[in-house]
Amino acid sequence: MTVLVAYNESPQGEAAFAAAVDEAARRRTSLTVLVLTPQPDDAPIPSHLVHLLQTVAGPDDTVKVAFRSDRIDVADAILDHAEKVDAQIIVMGSRKRTPVGKFLLGSTTQRVLLDAAVPVLVIRATR
């Protein structure tokens, strides 16, 4: 089992990553980072994520990195990957949106919260 963090390069992504690291340590389990920005499977890990990964203490095998396919919706990618890795919990960042913005664009966070088979921890960035 693992803690799955949905990560993108943003203050919300960084806050979610930090919370997921803490959650994985508390649960004494591994961490899986799902990078939400689509990348080819053979692409190197983005430098902003490499920097964050260097802050994680422990053996190299305690953190795994996966990339979202550009052929799949973000919420579906998170839910599918949570099932694939047998996640104990999903950690994701959130940003403030207006009610009209939520209505017009939908909400990835809302879909994951409603459809996840495991608990979801939603983190807000402090900046």
Domain ranges of the chain: 2-124
Radius of gyration of the chain (CA): 14
Residues 62 and 55: their CA atoms lie apart, in Å, by 13
Span 2-124 CATH architecture = 3-Layer(aba) Sandwich (3.40)
Of 22, 1, 2, the C-alpha closest to 123 is 22
More confident residue, 47 or 79: 79
Amino acid at site 3: V
Distance CA 95, CA 93 (A): 7
Q: What's the pLDDT band for 31 if we cut at 50, 70, 90?
A: very high
- The residue among 76 and 51 whose pLDDT is bigger is 76
Q: 87-94 and 63-67: which strand pairing?
A: unpaired
pTM of the model: 0.87
pLDDT at position 61 is 61
